[in-house]
Amino acid sequence: MFSEISVPSRTIMTPGPVEAHPVALRAMSASILGQFDPSFLQIMDEVKEMIKIPFGTKNEQAFAIDGTSRSGLEAALIALIEPGDKVLIPVYGRFAYLLGEICERAQAEIHYLEKEWDAPFEQDEVIQAIAEFQPKIVAMVHGETANGQMQSLDKIGRYCRENDLFFVVDMVATYGGVPLEIDEWAVDIAIAGTQKCVSVPSGLALITYNKRVEKVLDARYQKELGLSKDIRNENHISSNYLDLSQLQRYWSEERINHHTEATSMVYGLHEGLRMLIQEGMENVYARHALNDQAIIAGIKAMGLGFYGQLSTKMPTVTPIMIPEGIDGEKVRALMLDEFAVEIASSFGALQGKVWRIGNMGYSSRKSNVLHVLSALEGALNYYGAAIAKGEAVKAALAIYKK
């Protein structure tokens, strides 16, 4: 016989998932409502409005897609791409290649603009590549969790808009932790998720897009055959499940029956967003920035180095160089087993060379910062690393006491 699950308590300081907010978890245990129950439709309508606030947008369209953040990225790209369309993807970390993987499967012609992962691009370098390649779409990552670097977007967005190109941006790692201004930055489609700074379990992608994108969706709209045999379209979007033209109508007053909604997830999203907005977005950003400063101070005090440029590091992820001669995975395992603290390794060429500490959402708390620094110092001390002992927490506290 199987036993009831017993889930251990952890301090999660990874770049996602993070600790879910208790208010969101309580909401997710509420009774199930039918997806067209008036009470649930009101929740959906409030979620639509709340999603817009961390994005910094007045777009009419903003809603959730059932699936992890990746479902939103795929929905956004396949909504715009037709076979043979040219897509430029600037790469300064792992997740730009995910955008390329999606575009490749949509039969786009892809051009990668690649650089070392230690810093984002100068915007003029991207603009020059756009001018040379002449794509239909520019797809970028705002904050790369693989290396903790964050890309400036305003000039690139303006250039795309002036030249009638579509600008699609992955904001999964920055939404709710960093100020976003997608209208000012001329971003056409922005995508985020629940499992990072929104502090809700993984399972929904958040998306918003403007009238330029709506026009494309309307031109590609095809109603599901079981609902109507009349609205057919030779140029329909290739996925039914991730068809933004149908999902938009599901989340609008039209309420077409697209799929059975993940009601409990929407409850959690509502409360995760509400808690952010109730705290005040400026206060949320200040909290993340302060805890980021404390983490940096603690890591420096230990004598550890950072991967990449600190000047372009995002506040929500800190990449730390693993000291020479230290097995990074043994350190992570000891932190988890003995301190109940989880941090992350990295990907590709950074695997085994870099740890990443997340500073996101409900996990971004002073108590967590002090705990992760204590655990990291204790594990490094156990394995004989040459660090300054007893300095990390003291340095972090000095930041908090200012």
Run of H or E residues at 165: none
Residue 332 marked in a binding site: no
Other Cβ atoms closer than 10 A to 143: 28
Question: How far from 274 is each of 176, 199, 319, 374, CA to CA, in Å?
Answer: 11, 11, 30, 32
Q: Where are the beta strands (DSSP E) in 295-393?
A: 317-321, 341-342, 354-358
Whether the CB-CB separation of 319 and 354 falls below 8 Å is answered with yes
For 312, the token pair is: 């372009």
For 355, the token pair is: 């740890």
Cβ within 8 Å of residue 262, ≥6 positions away: 66, 203, 204
Q: Where are the beta strands (DSSP E) in 200-279?
A: 204-209
Sequence-ordered alpha helix ranges (H) in 106-195? 123-133, 154-162
Return the DSSP state at 81.
-
Among the listed residues 359, 363, 366, the one whose alpha carbon sits nearest the alpha carbon of residue 396: 366
For 234, the token pair is: 């030779």
Among the listed residues 163, 198, 176, 209, the one whose alpha carbon sits nearest the alpha carbon of residue 17: 198
Return the DSSP state at 362.
G
Other Cβ atoms closer than 10 A to 334: 18
Q: What single string gives the DSSP state of each residue in 2-46?
A: PPPP-PPP-EE-SSSS-PPPHHHHHHHTSPP--TT-HHHHHHHHH
Return the DSSP state at 93.
S
Report the amino acid identity of residue 240: N
Among the listed residues 375, 370, 376, the one whose alpha carbon sits nearest the alpha carbon of residue 400: 370
Altogether, the residues listed in the chain come to a count of 402
Over its C-alpha atoms, the chain yields an Rg (Å, rounded) of 22
Residues making up the binding site for substrate:
356
List, as residue ranges, the binding site: 356
